[in-house]
Amino acid sequence: MTRWLLHVDLDQFQAAVEFRRHPELRGRPVIVGGNGDPEEPRKVVSCASYPARAHGVRAGMPLRAALRACPDGVFLPQDLATYAEASEEIMALLRTFPGRVEVLGLDEAFLAVDTDDPEQLAREIRSAIEELVLTCAVGIGDNKTRAKLATGFAKAVGKSGDAAAERDAGTGIFRLTADNWTELMAHRPTTALWGVGARIAKRMSALGITTIAELAAADRELLAKEFGPNTGPYLWVLGHGAGDTEVAEPREPVGHSRSETFPADLTERAEFDAAVTRLATQVAGETLAGGRSVARIGVTVRTSTFFTRTKQRKLAQATTDVDEVVQTALRVLHGFELDRPIRLLGVRVEFGPPAE
């Protein structure tokens, strides 16, 4: 049997989770972000349903801009705990299939499987996820790079204009391998590659490299000179669609954090203390609920000028006392020069031994 990499990507994940508990919202332009108030400053869209995307709403867009683009949108607050629970449900389901699972985020994962019919396995995965009242696309590749990019074709079927993609229209499954890489990818801009953003693409463009075909044909020494001895050759490898075929087991989390960007800058010491107390209480409570103790506490401060700094303090002994975590976080906070308005505060704890 052949080793295949499958990339499973949940569709409009946060919105889809909201549809499970609010089925009356299906088919409507749902926008998830912040506290659900589109007039709240400094909050951005975390997920938009497909009808909302048809209005131009995208993740990362300020909520106020999303309201202008889609005045009839349904704005909902983020519920990270519920999304995390749904993600764990999905990942547990994926682990019931043959192969190994590598979780990439709340809504996507790789599976490494040995099979002669990866499409059949992909159909089984999609069917199982549909039983959870969610949907997904599955990209199939001979490595991670191609599997990840194949998911884009799986989601774009019926809209991409690619004849090969149209043959699979409506299935939500697509295979991208060395056999069809040149046909489907060579003419595309370098930003179509997984891991190539606008800044790197702009630098490559200055070298006369604008398409994936041009990147694949580029001089590796030139790339190394421009991007460094590691990144340069890696970009050349990406241009050929090469990539890793191994999946990594999930790493044990070493900490937990919470942060908040405020609608208006905080200016008073009492406001700083109240925010850190709230965040530290949440983080400590969630950590202890998970059966872990707290060994180190860090506080991040971002000022109105976007200057960002983190300070930490290690406890003499790991604790399960929420009040001790809060008081330590406040002491760390007071170690900053709090002489400027604060835009964001965050609290992070590093785990100690399991709580007894």
Positions marked active-site:
108
How far apart (Å, rounded) are the C-alpha atoms in residues 111 and 138?
A: 10
- Judge contact between 82 and 99, C-beta under 8 A: no
Length of the chain: 356
Strand partners, 259: 346
How far apart (Å, rounded) are the C-alpha atoms in residues 139 and 4?
A: 10
Structure tokens at 294: 């707290």
Of residues 139, 146, 138, the one with CA closest to residue 212: 146
- Judge contact between 4 and 98, C-beta under 8 A: no
Helix axes 220-227, 198-206, angle to 10 degrees: 120
| DSSP 8-state symbol, 37 | -
Q: Which residues contact 90 (CB under 8 A, 6 or more apart)?
A: 10, 107, 109, 129, 132, 134
